[in-house]
Amino acid sequence: MMLKELNPEQLEKAAGMLKAIAHPMRIAILSHLEEGKKLTVTEIHNLLKIEQSTTSHHLGILKDKGVLSSQRDGKNTYYFLRHDNLRQIVDCVSQCAR
C-alpha cells in the first residue's frame, strides 16, 4: 500500500508513530530491539544507562503509538517492535545521520 492510498485516520496514525520515534532516546531504544529482540525495561535501562523510570516513560509512548508491543512472562514484561518494517525506518535514519 502506498502512502498516498492511506485515509486521513491512517495518515494521522502514521504521523503519530513517526513523532513517537523522533526522539534520541527512543531511536536508541529501537536500535536495541532490532532483529526480533525482546527486552525488559531493566535490560533496556542498563543498555542505555538511563533511569528505569525514564526508560518506562519512553517505552510507554512507543507502545501507545503502536511502535512497540509487549508480552508479559511472569514478573517480566518484554518489549519488541510491533512491525518488522519499523526496522527499515530505524536503519534509514541511522544511515542518513552518518
Which one is predicted more confidently, 11 or 62? 62
Q: What one-character DSSP code corresponds to residue 83?
A: -
Please report the pLDDT score of residue 61 as a whole number.
Answer: 97
Report all structural domains of the chain as residue ranges with CATH numbers, in order of start. Answer: 11-97 (1.10.10.10)
pTM given for the model: 0.88
Look at residue 29 and give its three-state secondary structure.
Answer: helix
The percent of residues in the chain predicted with pLDDT above 90, rounded, is 67
**pLDDT-based confidence at 55, cuts 50/70/90?**
very high
Tell me the residue ranges of DSSP E strands in 26-75.
39-40, 68-73
Distance CA 97, CA 71 (A): 32
- 4: which 3 cell numbers? 498516498
Indicate the Cα dihedral angle 73, 24, 21, 12, nearest 10°. 140
Region 56-73: what's the mean pLDDT? 96
